[in-house]
Chain A
């Protein structure tokens, strides 16, 4: 057939399309899809930052607020009290006026000194603060007494709080909220992508293109890892601002590899949800159902010591629990790489188990 002979011969093709070109193209496509979705951007960055702001406001002043105590008169005890900086002093003109304020609940207590007589009057209705004030004033009076004898004190009390003195709420909140933010992005990102691709037949279409499933999976994973790094940068950057006052300890950057492992674990959770759910709505609901309780039980918002012991034990299966612990260790508790061994191992194991399960349940189409 002459027609056949005139036909263009099949042009030579590369034996296989380079995996890296597919990988790059798919990653770029998915990254664009990510940054162009305003809702996703909001939930990835602004939403957790809003919580940083809210929690920062709620807990922020707790460390700073000192009890205010009324003082009447002058003397060594009152001077010593002022130097101790343990309480805020409010000068009053007369004992009557001070007592009036204590009665009405405006002040927890007042101290009056007249020569060697020191009086402390407190409101029993506020036992905690009254106790605190009593302890402080008692201590000051004792010290002044010892000093008056001219003898060195026989017993010396050395007291300090257990935590690093800089462990203000922000030190705790920043790593916790960041784990939570990363889990939102990775779990929802993976779950919704796979459901959406299956529904919109993108997976079927990709099945007809010469790409390995691992390339497709890897390109989405790379986007999640990149997003996690961005979140880390934005979160730490903002928490370091003077208003929040985060203080990083020496090897804080060790948190980065741990965070990436955590992202892997969260991604595998998302893959599993994506494999099980048929619609975006159900994937959304399932992701919420996983992420929020996990964040609470993992101590992303408040320390886990507030929970009953059995719940704390149960929370050990959660990847966020270990991510959180590891990040606190290296970011604010000043620990080194040793502190990462257990969290890293747990995260890797968790990823392996869930990843395999998700791969087993994976479907190209409904």
Chain B
């Protein structure tokens, strides 16, 4: 095993009274794709910025590619790529010129600039001033600027915020492609479903702490949560539903009847035999349930 690309140990960071980061430790292996999830103010950006070397933690250590990123480590900088949560651009430059300028800081030529514009789907906006791009286009440009020098470790702070569904999917492809080339990615997001499909592992963060960190599948499985089968109300009397094999509990509201089960197979078979599959929905546990379980609060991104 190669040494981890990133190790953070016991990070704490306070803004006055507020503990923005409160004892955070985790490791990211080389080539791994890790997501940090959590609601607004959870401390994701602060954690990321400490890892990048933008902020000095109050206590704790960071090893990034075997080195300390703080104080400013010039040898490390060419090997990391960062997209800040608020995009940072030079004034009055076009999309292409922004990329060229950032590229030149890393000694990257203009062929690579075209490649990057193409990668994020901005080739036709190359000559547009940055200020005239849409929010999502600006976001994509900011991501391109983070990737222009082909860094080994990529930090992205909410890269998919403000993107339309199409652009989001495209970005997923870009990120998967980068990972396939052996790069390490650490990113934050509010979209639990997105993290579930993209990430090797996710860290769930709330109030400055990491509550759990594992593969999405294992987090969900460890939750040992029931599967919920929902039928149209009236398709089946509630008492009949309670008697079905595998049914653990039944709840009803005005429009639907929901059966909780830990053995969905016999339950679904029984429902099929009774011919009551109309409008049937099966919902298994997701990261949202994990979040609810960990924090006792509904997840609101």
Complex interface: chain B residues within 8 A of A207 (CB): 54, 72
Q: SS class of chain B's interface: helix, strand, loop or mixed?
A: loop
Q: Could you tell me the distance between the alpha carbons of A33 and B89 in the complex, rounded to whole angstroms?
A: 11
Task: Report which residue of A16, A29, A211 has the largest number of chain B beta carbons within 10 angstroms of its beta carbon.
Answer: A29
Chain A residues with CB under 8 Å of B88's CB are 200-202, 204-205
Assess whether B101 is in contact with A7, with CB atoms less than 8 Å apart. no
Instruction: Please state if A201 and B101 are interface contacts (CB–CB under 8 Å).
Output: no
B182, A209: Cβ atoms under 8 Å? no
Q: Tally B residues with Cβ within 8 Å of A.
A: 37
Q: Do the beta carbons of B52 and A14 come within 8 Å of each other?
A: no
Residues of A within 8 A of B53 (CB): 208
Which B residues lie within 8 Å of A17 (CB)?
78, 105-107
Stretch at the interface among A20-28, A49-57, A314-322: A20-28
Specify which chain A residues have a CB less than 8 angstroms from the CB of B79 in the assembled complex: 10, 13
Closest residue of A by beta carbon distance from B182: A7
Whether B90 pairs with A202 at a CB distance below 8 angstroms is yes
A32 interface residue per 8 A CB criterion = yes
- B182 is contacted by which of A8, A200, A211 (Cβ under 8 Å)? A8
What CA separation (Å) do A314 and B107 show in the bound complex? 50
A196 at the interface (CB under 8 A from B): yes
- Knowing A32-B93, A37-B91, A200-B88 are in contact, say whether A22-B181 is a contact too (CB < 8 A): no
- In whole angstroms, how far apart are the Cα atoms of A29 and B87 in the complex? 17
> In the complex, how many angstroms separate the beta carbon of B138 from the nearest chain A beta carbon?
12
Enumerate chain A residues within 8 angstroms of B82, measured Cβ to Cβ.
205, 208
Do B152 and A10 touch across chains, with their CB atoms under 8 A apart? yes
Q: Does B213 contact A (CB under 8 A)?
A: no
The docked-state distance in angstroms from the alpha carbon of A17 to that of B92 is 25
The distance from the CB of A104 to the nearest CB of chain B, in whole angstroms, is 62
Contacts of A10 in B (CB 8 A): 79, 152
Can you offer 22 A-B residue contacts whose CB atoms are under 8 A?
A4-B31, A7-B181, A8-B181, A13-B78, A17-B107, A18-B107, A21-B104, A22-B105, A25-B101, A26-B104, A26-B105, A29-B90, A29-B93, A32-B97, A33-B91, A200-B88, A201-B87, A202-B88, A202-B90, A204-B88, A208-B77, A210-B105
